[in-house]
């Protein structure tokens, strides 16, 4: 069994499909002759991902309108998100690519990894069926869907706050837990976000992440760092 098959817990009936999914176009370019690569599978995998994620969001968020569903889907299937999944599977390690591409850092390139993940999805779909590839995708994206619950807004408050502050100073905001109350499965966390010695906001939530998000939202609303900008080094 291929090491990658062990990682994804799926055994290909047609190993050539896996080989095709893992072949970067640079192989053919370097050999200067026609050679199969993962571009066609990437095209197919992109469509399969869109379908599975769309179907899941449609069922999970019955009250959400088209705009919100589209934004959430974009967040889940963005190049950045797919690159993370590829890195988790260590796809770069298994790719076949030209020497020049590899030398220039191709195995870690965001677009290469995202494309390889889409190609892998396409290969699994062709080798099995929609139900099998749906199971693979939803398992891989389980944590992403959970984050949608924890950060339901179409912005990422913590990320937006960090971007705003780093435009002023290289120092990042720090989230401090002030208290946690309640029984093990019913805890409420209180968190504050601090930057340059100034408390920018405080928030509460049923988890640390939710409390941090709430604190970041308060900080974005009150913009207390504006009082400090003129004194930041």
User: How far is Cα 69 from Cα 54, in angstroms, rounded to an integer?
Assistant: 8
Residue 16: per-residue pLDDT: 95
Q: Per-residue confidence at 1, pLDDT binned at 50, 70, 90?
A: low
- Residue (of 22, 27, 23, 24) closest to 8 by Cα position: 22
Sign of the C-alpha dihedral, residues 79, 61, 129, 141?
Answer: positive
Q: Per-residue confidence at 164, pLDDT binned at 50, 70, 90?
A: confident
Alpha carbon distances (Å) from 72 to 65, 103, 156, 190: 11, 36, 12, 27
46 is catalytic: yes
* Average pLDDT score, the chain: 87
The two three-digit tokens of residue 50, written as one number: 């869109």
102 is catalytic: no
Q: What are the structural domains, with CATH classification, of the chain?
A: 3-150 (1.10.1520.10), 157-231 (3.30.160.20)
pLDDT tens for 175-191 read 999 998 877 667 888 99
Residue 157: per-residue pLDDT: 80
Residue 231: per-residue pLDDT: 44
pLDDT tens for 107-156 read 888 889 999 999 999 999 999 999 999 999 999 999 888 887 776 555 67
Residue from 37, 42, 46, 101 carrying the catalytic annotation = 46
| Phi and psi based region of residue 148 (left: phi greater than 0; alpha: psi -120 to 50; beta: remaining) | alpha
Residue 155: per-residue pLDDT: 62
pLDDT tens for 20-60 read 999 999 887 766 666 789 999 999 999 999 999 999 999 99
Residue from 20, 101, 118, 212 carrying the catalytic annotation = 118
Q: Are 78 and 110 in contact (CB under 8 A)?
A: no
- Residue (of 95, 89, 109, 121) closest to 19 by Cα position: 95
* Rounded mean pLDDT, 162-171: 82
pLDDT tens for 51-89 read 999 999 999 988 877 877 887 888 889 888 899 999 999
């Amino acid at each position: 069994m291929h090491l990658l098959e062990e990682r994804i817990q799926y055994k290909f009936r047609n190993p050539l499909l896996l080989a095709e999914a893992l072949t970067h176009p640079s192989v053919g370019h370097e050999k200067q002759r026609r050679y199969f690569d993962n571009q066609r599978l990437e095209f197919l995998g992109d469509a399969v991902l869109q379908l599975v994620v769309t179907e899941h969001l449609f069922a999970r968020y019955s009250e959400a309108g088209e705009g919100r569903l589209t934004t959430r889907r974009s967040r889940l299937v963005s190049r950045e998100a797919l690159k993370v999944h590829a890195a988790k599977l260590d796809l770069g390690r298994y790719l076949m690519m030209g020497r020049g591409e590899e030398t220039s850092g191709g195995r870690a390139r965001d677009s290469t990894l995202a494309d390889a993940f889409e190609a892998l999805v396409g290969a699994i779909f062709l080798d099995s069926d929609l139900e099998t590839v749906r199971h693979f995708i939803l398992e891989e994206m389980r944590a992403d869907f959970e984050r949608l619950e924890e950060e339901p807004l179409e912005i990422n408050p913590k990320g937006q706050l960090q971007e705003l502050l780093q435009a002023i100073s290289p120092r990042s905001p720090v989230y401090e837990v002030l208290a946690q109350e309640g029984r093990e499965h019913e805890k409420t966390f209180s968190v504050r976000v601090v930057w340059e010695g100034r408390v920018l906001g405080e928030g509460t939530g049923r988890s640390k992440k939710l409390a941090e998000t709430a604190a970041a939202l308060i900080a974005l609303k009150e913009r207390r760092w504006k009082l400090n900008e003129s004194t930041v080094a």
